[in-house]
Structure formats: C-alpha cells, structure tokens
C-alpha cells in the first residue's frame, strides 16, 4: 500500500449531489454559492445549505471547496464583499478563485482562507503557477486542461514541495482555453465568464453567403451535418497511474450541472480504480468493469484530452452533440420496512412492475433485480411509478441500505 494521499474531487451542483458525491466515495467536493460561481445553471447552495453541507462534509472526514471563480466587473465588487462577510465564519476548507482582485478580497475578509487557483485562470506554465504560489500565497493550482502530462511533471518539479496540483480527469471539455469563451455572450448575451454559458460550441452550424441571405449551406462531414466545435469528453479512468506519477495530488471530476446518478456512477468508478491502485501500485491492473460501469452514466465519446498530445480531429465529434444515455436513473432507496419486506424508494423516472432493473451503492458491485411488486405510500398496489419523486414501496429480492440507486437499461 502506498502512503501517498491522492484526493478524488467531485462536483456538487446542489446539496443532494454534494451528499451523493461524499457517500459514493469522494474525498472532497467543490460547490458554488448562489452568487459568483461559474455555473449559474447549477442548483448551487444557499448560505444555510453551505452551513449544512460543511457539517455533513466534515462529519464524513471530507473537504469542501467553494468556487468564487467569476471574472467580476466593477459592479460585482460591492456585492461580492457583502456576500463574503456573510459566509466568513463557515468553515469552508478552500476557495477556488481565478481573478487576482477576487483573491485579494477573499484574503482581506477571511485572512486564513486557503486559496486554490481555478482552472478558469488557465495556468498553462510553471512561471504563472509560481506567481500564484510564491507571490500570492495560493496553496493549490488547478491546471489548465490544455497541459500535457510532461508539462505537469515539469511544473511540479519547480514549485515549492508542498504545492498541490489538481487536474481534471473526467467530464466535458471546452473549445476555448479553460473556458475563456465569448461565444455565448456574443450570440445570446449570456456571459460564460460570469457563470451563464449556453454552450453554443455544441450547436449545429450552417454557412450563409453574403448576397444570398436565407440560403443555408450546410457545414457537414456527412448527411447528419457537422458540429465543428463539439469536443469529446475527457476520460482518464484507465490512466490514473500516469497522472499520479506526474505529481497530481487531486483528481477532479467535472459536472456540477449533472444528475446525482451521474455523480454517483462516475465517482464510484474512479473510487474503485484509485483504491485498487493505492492498495498496490506495483501490481495494479486496470479492470474493464470499471469502464463499463462509468459508461452507464450519460456521456459523449471519450478521449484523453491534451495529456499525451495535442488533440487532432479525433478529439472532436463532428456528427452529433447528443449524449449517450443507455440507462435511466429511476430511484433512490430511502428506507426499508422489515414487517412487509418492502424497500422504500423515491422515484426519479418511470418504471413498472415486472421490469428488470439494477441496484448499486457505494463500494459495491451492482445487483440485478426484478420489480416484483409495487405499492404507493398508502400500501395500495400499483403497476407503475409515473410521478417524479413519488414515494413508493417495492418488493425486491434483497435488502438495500438508504442512498442505493435504482437504474434500468433503456430499450434499444
């Protein structure tokens, strides 16, 4: 077993996703408040929820990092200061920032705050990293997605030994440097650098000639068209030893806007692979079952990003921006009735009596099940659960703890 501590860091778009990430094996989570986070479309956390979240996180010996990584304009400064005054006594473990002014404000109001430099600062070289660490006092650098393993290794060697490097291992990639994109602001007036990106890089485009308005010429590779800026998703599940060898101490999963099912599935797969490696690095062997589990969450086609070389056309998906969704998230276990032998489930998508499903939980393989019987809250027999977040009771072959997840394979 290695003594090296490697952190698995998961996204937390709201309080449910945050708790799911911790329960399913994350060592730390990153989340945004209702203001000043670059994921305005995520649920984000109110001040009361941040307090609840940090209590839950610390009860589970994990850490919670808050993102304040917008690039603020002048009129953002007074409310930012006021917001930080309201949260300064909450024991948040670190703040992710990308702007020197924001960093100065955070340190002024919370002097002992630990600072992590967000990927939004697009730190792509060791000189910039050294500036943040040696002159600004940052504890951790979140590397730009555009860095190679060799560049990361070189960065680690020249920085002070206690500097931590965090790098993305999984999730969506951006066609601009570390998300510094103006397309959304230009096209629909929603600023990606202030948390409101509409992802126009995923849209389908056609060409119009100046003197022929209304005549659209498709930009296409085949008859389905072409998504010319649509990057594949990053996946480094099969390459964790390479990242750790390069000096990465925090493995970051992208996806604050994804579902609890996505968070649980992805965190579980990376937790299994990371634990196996840390247990015996010299005899570690990647297991295909981890990848198969990972693919049960919605995803685009995968690649290794910039870690081994600059991506060529194989890093893009020119035919579609759709996700692969082979499984439906149908429910979460909320309890068990010993007298009736029924599992209490909070429904998320419709399922019916007689269907084949899978049940999985933290640090376990999934179990195949058949929905044998189903009842509503008043113990009336029902054939299906059609209402979102409906509480139902289900007859299964085994007893499952709370927070286990039910899923079913979609019909092809």
**pTM exceeds 0.75, yes or no:** yes
267 lies in the same domain as 401:
no
Question: For position 256, which CATH number holds?
Answer: 3.20.20.70
pLDDT of 181 reads: 63
308 lies in the same domain as 332:
no
Beta-carbon contacts of 2 under 8 Å, excluding residues fewer than 6 positions away, are 278, 281
The answer to whether residue 62 scores a pLDDT higher than 50 is yes
Interval 91-108: pLDDT, tens: 999 999 999 999 999 999
pLDDT of 299 reads: 78
End residue of a domain, out of 315, 341, 376: 315
Q: For residues 206 and 347, what is the distance between their CA atoms, to the nearest angstrom?
A: 41
Q: For residues 261 and 255, what is the distance between their CA atoms, to the nearest angstrom?
A: 12
Which three-class secondary structure state does DSSP give residue 107?
helix
342 inside domain: yes
388 inside domain: yes
Q: Which helix (H) or strand (E) is 294 found in, with range?
A: helix 288-294
Which of 22-26, 257-261, 279-283 is the least confident region?
257-261
282 lies in the same domain as 335:
no
186 inside domain: no
Q: Which helix (H) or strand (E) is 297 found in, with range?
A: none
291 lies in the same domain as 331:
no
Q: What would the mean pLDDT of 30-54 be, rounded to a whole number?
A: 82
End residue of a domain, out of 315, 338, 368: 315
Which of 9-23, 32-46, 51-65 is the least confident region?
32-46
Distances (CA, A) of 124 to 121, 151, 233: 9, 8, 20
The answer to whether residue 309 scores a pLDDT higher than 90 is no
185 inside domain: no
Q: For residues 100 and 85, what is the distance between their CA atoms, to the nearest angstrom?
A: 19
Task: To the nearest 10°, report the CA torsion of 77, 132, 267, 352.
Answer: 20
275 lies in the same domain as 372:
no
Instruction: List, in sequence order, every beta strand (DSSP E) within 172-274.
Output: 206-208, 216-218, 233-235, 250-253
352 inside domain: yes
The answer to whether residue 317 scores a pLDDT higher than 80 is no
Distances (CA, A) of 199 to 129, 202, 226, 316, 396: 28, 6, 16, 15, 41
Considering only CA atoms, which of 368, 376, 369 is closest in space to residue 393?
376
If you count them, how many residues does the chain have?
A: 412
Count helices and strands in the chain by DSSP H and E runs: 10, 21
Give 187's DSSP letter. H
Question: For position 365, which CATH number holds?
Answer: 2.40.30.10
404 lies in the same domain as 263:
no
CA atoms 364, 268, 317, 224: torsion sign: positive
The answer to whether residue 302 scores a pLDDT higher than 80 is yes
290 lies in the same domain as 375:
no
Instruction: List, in sequence order, every beta strand (DSSP E) within 211-304.
Output: 216-218, 233-235, 250-253, 302-303
Q: Which helix (H) or strand (E) is 289 found in, with range?
A: helix 288-294
241 inside domain: yes
Q: Pull the structure tokens for residue 336.
A: 């068990």
End residue of a domain, out of 315, 339, 355: 315
Which three-class secondary structure state does DSSP give residue 121?
helix
- SS in 3 state form for 305-316? CCCCCCCCHHHE
100 lies in the same domain as 155:
yes
114 lies in the same domain as 49:
yes
- Residue linked to tokens 């099969």: 238
pLDDT of 212 reads: 79
Confidence grade of residue 224 (pLDDT, cut at 50, 70, 90): very low
The answer to whether residue 322 scores a pLDDT higher than 60 is no
For residues 217 and 205, the answer to whether their CB atoms sit within 8 Å is no
Q: Pull the structure tokens for residue 345.
A: 């489930």
373 lies in the same domain as 244:
no
Which of 130-134, 217-221, 297-301 is the least confident region?
217-221
Please give the residue range of the domain that contains residue 48: 7-176+230-315
For the chain, the domain total comes to 2
Considering only CA atoms, which of 150, 152, 95 is closest in space to residue 123?
152
Interval 369-409: pLDDT, tens: 999 999 999 999 999 998 889 999 999 999 999 999 999 99
Considering only CA atoms, which of 9, 1, 32 is closest in space to residue 249?
9
Q: Which helix (H) or strand (E) is 219 found in, with range?
A: none
236 lies in the same domain as 339:
no
60 lies in the same domain as 150:
yes
Q: For residues 287 and 271, what is the distance between their CA atoms, to the nearest angstrom?
A: 13
214 inside domain: no
């Amino acid at each position: 077993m290695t003594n090296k501590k490697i952190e698995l860091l998961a996204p937390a778009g709201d309080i449910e996703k945050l708790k799911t990430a911790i329960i399913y094996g994350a060592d730390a989570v990153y989340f945004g408040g209702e203001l000043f986070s670059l994921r305005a479309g995520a649920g984000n956390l109110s001040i009361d929820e941040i307090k609840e979240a940090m209590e839950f996180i610390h009860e589970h010996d994990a850490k919670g990092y808050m993102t304040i990584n917008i690039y603020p304009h002048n009129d953002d400064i007074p409310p930012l200061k006021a917001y930080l005054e309201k949260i300064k006594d909450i024991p948040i473990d670190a703040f992710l920032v990308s702007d020197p002014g924001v960093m100065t404000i955070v340190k002024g109001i919370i002097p002992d705050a630990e600072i992590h430099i967000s990927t939004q600062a697009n730190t792509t070289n060791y000189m910039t990293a050294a500036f943040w660490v040696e002159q600004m006092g940052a504890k951790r650098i979140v590397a730009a997605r555009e860095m190679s393993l060799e560049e990361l290794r070189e960065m680690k060697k020249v920085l002070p030994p206690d500097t931590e490097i965090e790098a993305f291992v999984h999730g969506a990639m951006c066609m601009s440097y570390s998300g510094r994109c103006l397309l959304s602001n230009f096209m629909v007036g929603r600023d990606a650098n202030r948390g409101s990106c509409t992802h126009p890089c995923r849209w389908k485009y056609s060409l119009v000639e100046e003197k022929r308005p209304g005549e659209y010429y498709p930009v296409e590779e085949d008859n389905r068209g072409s998504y010319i800026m649509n990057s594949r998703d990053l996946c480094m599940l099969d390459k964790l030893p390479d990242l750790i060898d390069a000096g990465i101490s925090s493995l970051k999963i992208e996806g604050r806007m994804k579902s609890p099912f996505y968070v649980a599935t992805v965190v579980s797969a990376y937790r299994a692979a990371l634990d196996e490696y840390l247990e015996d690095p010299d005899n570690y062997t990647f297991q295909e079952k981890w990848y198969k589990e990972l693919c049960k969450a919605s995803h685009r086609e995968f690649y290794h990003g910039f870690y081994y070389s600059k991506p060529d056309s194989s890093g893009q998906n020119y035919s579609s921006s759709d996700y692969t969704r082979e499984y439906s998230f149908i429910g979460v276990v909320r309890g068990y009735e010993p007298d009736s032998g029924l599992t209490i489930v909070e429904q998320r998508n419709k399922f019916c009596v007689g269907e084949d499903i899978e049940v999985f939980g933290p640090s376990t393989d999934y179990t195949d099940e058949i929905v044998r019987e189903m009842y509503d809250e008043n113990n009336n027999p029902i054939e299906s659960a059609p209402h979102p977040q409906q509480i139902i009771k289900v007859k299964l072959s085994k007893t499952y703890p709370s927070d286990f997840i039910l899923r079913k394979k979609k019909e092809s």
